[in-house]
Structure 1
């Protein structure tokens, strides 16, 4: 049993990191070409709608999807119940956005948003049709198939968006390509899942999953509203181009974090659920994941900070220079997000959705307070506020993990300190190594090489446990 779980966990991590990395590379390359063709105002208009779309998607994906995975004695009726519930939610959310589109356009005083909302919200219905199939693959830990589907979908979306952008569709190239991409994903999930719903909806099954799922709904709603408050406020109070700069900077800052968040969310939650009755194994797994996550994500984000200017100027030209400082600040904010993901998944696997909801309410309350204080100071100050909120949120997560799982705060902090110190040292060396190089492309290359070599050399010099975990993964791959 333990060996089987380790094999599933290992290959789950491999395939999810492969999927996430491949997706980010594809989206990164497509994004470079798109940013060269489109204007900051185009991204600003799509950013104005992000709060409505993200909230809607979160309501579909965060609640009963996770309840289905967390439930140990799930049946065919459970799957069908969640399927029909998701469809109803998806249709209702689309209709709400469809009939609200004139008011959204009026709120921002951008008339094109009325038609744009009606098109860009279509994927909500498509997403609701495929969530059970997605959960089924996750429960079976068949992340290989999910990875293939995601990569194929990203390629189709990227090709269609580039074609339409070069054909002069402007902002509509983003809207139509999202519909094409989600349609492709829905078709592929239905084709490969080998599952069809029963013609039955069980209120008993619904009520059993509602206790957990409803709290996930609430947490997802809070998370979505808070994460998109910035685009809402910047779009309302500042120029559309300012929102475009923020949207691009935010997108690039999230690239490495999204890779880890996707992999960690998809793999660690089912892994923790498998051993949810064995606290000792859960705690051991938690420490390893925490150290390994920090070991990978900390240096990547620090490298992004050092190389932010040459990256932006080299990739998408100097018309986007204003987003350099925003990218650097946001990287410092997002560096802690994967750490929070590990903590939250641990608590959710124990069935403590009530605690995660309390944590979300507390963190979002602090976040809104900081946001209100920084709005008068401008977009840069608002982003700096995110760093403060991220640090406080991480400490809150660590505290509640101690309360529920009795994992000492000091032991959690000790897990994070070594990779953080290695990363800060690497950042300093990389900065001085590239500061006198005038060519942006050469600075990126030299900075990348110097940063990676320095980081792994320091980690090896101090015999870091994180590096040992990495070698363990490599050795497992050879032995499996």
Structure 2
């Protein structure tokens, strides 16, 4: 088997397992979120949203771009892994101590006394997560997403059960806090047992310098990105009620559950795949093109379809008390539709070692985004105004992220738009049809309406794909067929054994 065929099979397998991991994990987390949304009140989610801002920013310092350097390198040594491990662990401990003593100041800023104890407890996830970073990197480098799938699914399920139990016992926001802690604990524990890797007692200064040279720009980019990503929660938490932040937080979490399932799968698989093709311009462009077209073929209808069914889906699953989050969720889905495009275009910059451009683009995008946010605050456009600023910036960011794609991979922004044109058009038509069915045609209850909307959306999208001869439909079908056959054969074998 030649290199291209082997890589293709490895990529498809990786995509399947990575996507399966994200979907299965997110389904479990979604079920848990639905149950918790019915057991808790919006204010609980608002309080968690306030503290997760600082956890997310701190985590950026822990996962500082060094692990990306490990994935990119073909021949990482034991000293490399151990050096990065100890640096990440030291950063995590230092940040936890900082958070511990900053808790009172954060509490005063948000005018929420409960935040002091919440921050001091949930901060331990930084240290726990540091133990799993290298373990996860090793699996990604080997493209062993099957093992990662099992670990993440087991961790999500276990942490979810604990959170639901605590919520039933009246723990309130603490149920959400311990869900985060146990999720990271189970992941780190299972990753360690699975890999059986332990760090050597060594810290190589030369390795550190090498990874720092590659990773500091990625770290700075991630820090800027996370600061921008979390700024809405800071503004809403400071200017509005915790209940309002709860509506926004849950809408954002639902959007992230959907958008990140695909985006993180694509990003996780495309980075090592494109890294292996970095020295062959022809293969690099072909791989780049296929990943973008196939990712968008799934993402666009998925995110736009969620917009259409939101008025039915959210009251059905979360309850009528969460109806105020419907509009927030719909706006966020418009921004989330482009996430895979952002991830893949940024991966090319990392693959080519152009972390300088990565940082430059991040700064430009965030300056544009912050300008839009300031305008919405000054004009007092409310929470919806902040979210529309996010949408506008997401679409501007596509052109910024892809501006060097022609030079680096001979695949320009205009070529990308041309390649995804049919998919975008079909997705919009499908979304309009599904929305009309849900709001103006069917007099049924939420459950039956949702089923009809989903089935109609899938049927319409497949029909449009066949009508306009969208090649990605055939590609996805060819990926799914072997899986279906394998499942049917396994089911048949189990049936014969049972007989």
Scaled by the length of structure 1, the TM-score of the pair is 0.97
- Specify the alignment match of 1:212 in structure 2: 214
**2:285–2:410: 8 Å Cα contact kept in structure 1?**
no
- Specify the alignment match of 1:221 in structure 2: 223
Task: Quote the Cα distance in structure 1 between the aligned partners of 2:483 and 2:80.
Answer: 35
Task: Quote the Cα distance in structure 2 between the aligned partners of 1:140 and 1:323.
Answer: 40
Q: CA deviation at 1:4?
A: 2.4
**1:418 equivalenced with 2:422 (yes/no):** yes
- Specify the alignment match of 1:443 in structure 2: 449
**1:466 equivalenced with 2:468 (yes/no):** no
- Specify the alignment match of 2:73 in structure 1: 71
Task: Quote the Cα distance in structure 2 between the aligned partners of 1:157 and 1:458.
Answer: 41
- Specify the alignment match of 1:393 in structure 2: 397
Task: Quote the Cα distance in structure 1 between the aligned partners of 2:481 and 2:77.
Answer: 37
Task: Quote the Cα distance in structure 1 between the aligned partners of 2:437 and 2:180.
Answer: 41
Q: CA deviation at 1:178?
A: 1.6
Q: Which runs of 5+ in 2 are unaligned?
A: 487-499
Please give the residue correspondences for 1:313-352 in structure 2 after superposition, counting only pairs within 5 Å: 313-352=315-354
Change (3 A) 1:4 1:476: farther
Task: Quote the Cα distance in structure 2 between the aligned partners of 1:436 and 1:282.
Answer: 47
- Specify the alignment match of 1:455 in structure 2: 461
**1:288–1:469: 8 Å Cα contact kept in structure 2?**
no
Residue-by-residue CA offset, 1:194-245 (whole Å, 9 max, x unaligned): 2121111000011111111111111111111110000011000111111011
- Specify the alignment match of 1:382 in structure 2: 386
**2:284–2:409: 8 Å Cα contact kept in structure 1?**
no
Residue-by-residue CA offset, 1:18-69 (whole Å, 9 max, x unaligned): 1000011101111111001111110000101122111112222241111111
Q: 1:403 aligns with which of 404, 407, 416?
A: 407
Please give the residue correspondences for 1:74-85 in structure 2 after superposition, counting only pairs within 5 Å: 74-85=76-87
Segment of structure 1 superposing worse, 212-221 or 400-409: 400-409
- Specify the alignment match of 2:259 in structure 1: 257
Residue-by-residue CA offset, 1:303-336 (whole Å, 9 max, x unaligned): 1111111111111111111111111111111111
- Specify the alignment match of 1:112 in structure 2: 114
Equivalent residue of 1:307, what SS?
A: helix
**1:64–1:209: 8 Å Cα contact kept in structure 2?**
yes
Task: Quote the Cα distance in structure 1 between the aligned partners of 2:31 and 2:66.
Answer: 34
Change (3 A) 1:468 1:232: same
**1:101–1:114: 8 Å Cα contact kept in structure 2?**
yes
Q: CA deviation at 1:475?
A: 5.9
Q: CA deviation at 1:191?
A: 0.6
**1:240 equivalenced with 2:242 (yes/no):** yes
Task: Quote the Cα distance in structure 2 between the aligned partners of 1:142 and 1:223.
Answer: 28
Task: Quote the Cα distance in structure 1 between the aligned partners of 2:55 and 2:478.
Answer: 41
Q: CA deviation at 1:477?
A: 5.9
- Specify the alignment match of 1:87 in structure 2: 89
Q: CA deviation at 1:433?
A: 2.4
- Specify the alignment match of 1:230 in structure 2: 232
Q: CA deviation at 1:161?
A: 0.5
Please give the residue correspondences for 1:139-178 in structure 2 after superposition, counting only pairs within 5 Å: 139-178=141-180
Q: Which runs of 5+ in 1 are unaligned?
A: none
Task: Quote the Cα distance in structure 2 between the aligned partners of 1:101 and 1:447.
Answer: 46
How many residues are aligned here? 480
Task: Quote the Cα distance in structure 1 between the aligned partners of 2:478 and 2:214.
Answer: 35
**2:404–2:412: 8 Å Cα contact kept in structure 1?**
no
- Specify the alignment match of 2:181 in structure 1: 179
Task: Quote the Cα distance in structure 1 between the aligned partners of 2:64 and 2:336.
Answer: 20
Q: Which aligned segments of 4 or more residues in structure 1 are displaced greater than 3 angstroms?
A: 474-480
**1:292 equivalenced with 2:307 (yes/no):** no
Segment of structure 1 superposing worse, 310-319 or 27-36: 310-319
- Specify the alignment match of 1:432 in structure 2: 436
Residue-by-residue CA offset, 1:80-136 (whole Å, 9 max, x unaligned): 100111110110111111110011101111001000001111110011111111111
Task: Quote the Cα distance in structure 1 between the aligned partners of 2:437 and 2:223.
Answer: 44
Query: Aligned-residue CA RMSD in angstroms?
Result: 1.5
